[in-house]
Amino acid sequence: MGDYQPETIASPTPATPGNQLKDISTNDSGVLYHQLRQKPLNIVGGRGSYLITDDGLEILDATCGAAVSCLGHSDKRVHDAIMEQLQKIPYAYSLYFTNNAAENLSRILVDSTGGKMSRAFIVSSGTEAVEASVKMAMQYFRELPTPQPQRVNFISRTQSYHGNTLGSLAVGHHVARRAIYESILTKNVHHVSQCYPYRGMKDGESTEGYVARLAQELEDKFQSLGPDTVCAFVAETMSGATLGCVPALPGYLKAMKEVCERHGALLILDEVMSGMGRTGTLHAWEQEGVVPDLQTIAKGLGAGYAPIAGLLVNKHVVDTLTRGTGAFAHSQTYQGHPVSCAAAYRVQQIIQEDNLLPNVREMGEYLGRLLHEKLGDNPHVGDIRGRGLFWALEFVQNKSTKESYPPSKKIAWTLHTTGLKPEYAISLMPGNGGADGVNGDHICLAPPYNTTKAEIELIVDRASKVIQEVLG
Ligand code: PLP
């Protein structure tokens, strides 16, 4: 794992009790907070796996924010790379120029796929990467030697999340986030079931039987739309925050890709959350025996040191566009941003230099084992699932019927806010199937790739105490 020790920041003052989420009624901040009536904790520092508040509370960041800060919070090597790039050139418009940082980053990304993906298109957020994937898929079919402009439909999965702009929101199926905008979301996105064994598999059904049933559902969807009208099937390689860390069953993605290939449609794998090492291999698809046509990446790419995301593009798509108009009909001001690219390049080097992927696998197994040991018999914990350093606990009112809590109870959010009390000081990632009321509330755990056994034990201990306080 290398011998790098993060720099310690100034010693925090002791935490003041009761300093969690503050009532905003007396607050004159200009920030529009996510929860408009509540001021969140103010983070002023970070050290390894810990966030430090202005009150000096050290919070164990068991989630890397939203599965982002995979090197922890204070890696001086990345700070230095950012400073160096800032001093060379902070910005050069990618419509006119390239820059060394973008060149270096794209090269190692393409090489990391064994050349299966042949270009990287670098943007600033996961949402932008998904939007770019949708647009590139449509352009691809228009620029084939025999164009197929009738391919206007996309198929994705229920309870999925692929971003928050109108296009990416339409591709996903986050009920709560879509609700207000349904009328202006495209109707050309259609949904099939998730691969979600805990609730989707029938009693006595085999893995093969379940996978075959899901593949048939996709086939039926193609048939009902007209197979040659489908542009792409979009799925997370491992379902992340909305469904709660559900690894694909063996053979599932292969079966889905076969359906796509049979009908000439593309496979877009969204690895914004599950990619760049989170599940134990750099690309989550490496464990599935499939190669996507388009792949989105983001969170672990820059580890939160700078906003960055990317679209990795399979060679045959690149070749088609190159022979076609020769330009991707999409450009953004901060595309290939030099400082973000320099940060991400250094992050990716460190993942290799410190040999972090074996640690993700080893600590991930340990985390899974401890969760099962400590919480497997808890009457409120219906399911424990995950892969690599990406695990979730799904909560139910009744373990035998799997009855979930009503979304109005906000169980997952309450677990999150309770975790932030000084006596627990742990950040947990809440979710509830996109608030569709079908699956239970869950919390996800996603520690940094350089986490230790001691930290894993602390995470499980603190999370268990939080669950005990909220659910009894
Ligand atoms: N796709 C997936 C699978 C995600 O989990 C997310 C964010 O959580 C996104 C896309 C959107 O990424 P961003 O929030 O960086 O725009």
Q: What pairing do the DSSP bridges indicate for beta strands 381-387 and 309-314?
A: unpaired
CB 272 within 8 A of CB 129: yes
Higher-pLDDT residue of 241, 53? 53
Q: Is 449 helix (H, G, I), strand (E, B) or coil?
A: coil
Taking the centre of ligand 1 as the mean of its atom positions, its distance from the CA of residue 296, in whole angstroms, is 9
Q: Nearest-CA neighbor of 233 among 212, 209, 208, 214?
A: 214
Ranges of H-type helices in 174-283: 175-178, 197-200, 207-225, 252-262
The mean pLDDT of 311-334, rounded to a whole number, is 96
Residue type, 217: E
3-state secondary structure of 195: coil
pLDDT of residue 11: 37
Tokens of 382: 């219906």
The alpha carbon of 456 and the centre of ligand 1 are apart by a number of angstroms equal to: 25
CB-based pocket (< 6 A), ligand 1: 66, 125-127, 130, 161-163, 236, 240-241, 270, 272-273, 298, 309
pLDDT of residue 437: 64
Whole-number pLDDT of residue 17: 42
Contacts of 430 (CB under 8 A, 6+ apart): 412, 413, 415, 416, 441, 442, 443
Could you tell me the pLDDT band of residue 36, with boundaries at 50, 70 and 90?
Answer: confident
With bands split at pLDDT 50, 70 and 90, how would you rate the model's confidence at 7? Answer: very low
pLDDT of residue 38: 83
Model confidence at 207: pLDDT above 80: yes
Least confident of 8-22, 98-112, 411-425: 8-22
Please give the Cα distance from 372 to 366 (Å, whole number): 10
Residue 246 alpha carbon to ligand 1 centre in Å: 16
pLDDT by residue (tens digit) across 167-205?
999 999 998 899 999 999 999 999 999 999 999 999 999
Expressed in angstroms and rounded, the spacing between residue 75 Cα and the centre of ligand 1 is 24
pLDDT at position 30, please?
A: 87
Question: Which of 34, 130, 297 to probe ligand 1 with, by most ligand atoms within 8 A of CB?
Answer: 130
pLDDT tens-place string over residues 10-28:
333 334 444 455 555 556 6
Give the angle subtended at the CA of 17 by the CAs of 12 and 22, to the nearest 5°. 95
- Give the mean model confidence (pLDDT) for residues 206-227: 98
Predicted confidence at residue 13, as pLDDT, reads 38
8, pLDDT greater than 50: no
The protein residue whose alpha carbon is closest to atom 7 in ligand 1 is 163
From 273, 274, 279, the mutation candidate for ligand 1 (largest count of ligand atoms within 8 A of CB) is: 273
Ligand 1 atom at minimal distance to the Cα of residue 168 = 10
pLDDT score of 33: 87
From 34, 124, 127, 308, give the residue whose CB has the most ligand 1 atoms within 8 Å, as the site to mutate.
127
Is the per-residue pLDDT at 145 higher than 70?
yes
User: 255 vs 437, which has greater pLDDT?
Assistant: 255
**What does the alpha-carbon distance between residue 448 and residue 356 come to, in Å, rounded to a whole number?**
10
272 within 8 A of 390, measured Cβ to Cβ: no
In this structure, how many other beta carbons lie within 10 angstroms of the beta carbon of residue 190? 15
CA nearest ligand 1 atom 1, residue: 162
Residue located nearest, by CA, to atom 12 of ligand 1 = 126
Average pLDDT, the chain: 93
Question: Measuring from atom 2 of ligand 1, which residue has the nearest CA?
Answer: 162
Q: What is the pLDDT of residues 327-357, one digit of tens each?
A: 998 999 999 999 999 999 999 999 999 999 9
Q: Please state, in angstroms and rounded to a whole number, the distance separating the CA atoms of residues 113 and 293.
A: 12
Residues 393/397/403/406 CA torsion (nearest 10 deg): -90
Confidence band of 434 (pLDDT split at 50, 70, 90): low
Whether 298 has a pLDDT exceeding 50, the answer reads: yes
Q: Does residue 435 carry a pLDDT above 60?
A: yes
pLDDT of residue 439: 73
Q: Which alpha helices (DSSP H) does 354-410 contain, by range?
A: 356-375
Residues 209/133, Cβ–Cβ less than 8 Å: no
> Whose CA is closest to atom 14 on ligand 1?
126
Average pLDDT over residues 83-96: 97
Rounded to the nearest angstrom, the distance between the alpha carbon of 161 and the centre of ligand 1 is 7
Output the pLDDT for position 416.
97
In the predicted structure, residue 4 carries a pLDDT above the cut 70: no
Q: What is the 3-state secondary structure (H, E, C) of 61-100?
A: ECCHHHHCCCCCCCCHHHHHHHHHHHHHCCCCCCCCCCCH
Least confident window among 36-40, 69-73, 170-174, 425-429: 36-40
Q: For the chain, how big is the Rg over CA atoms in Å? A: 22
Beta strand 189-192 with 266-271 is unpaired
pLDDT band at 387 (very low <50, low <70, confident <90, very high): very high
Q: For the chain, what percent of residues have pLDDT higher than 90?
A: 87
CA 191–ligand 1 middle distance (angstroms)? 18
What is the per-residue pLDDT across 229-280, written as a single tens digit (0 to 9) for each?
A: 999 999 999 999 889 999 999 999 999 999 999 999 999 999 999 999 999 9
> What's the gap between Cα 355 and its chain centre?
22
Question: Per-residue pLDDT for 438 more than 90?
Answer: no
pLDDT at 111 over 80: yes
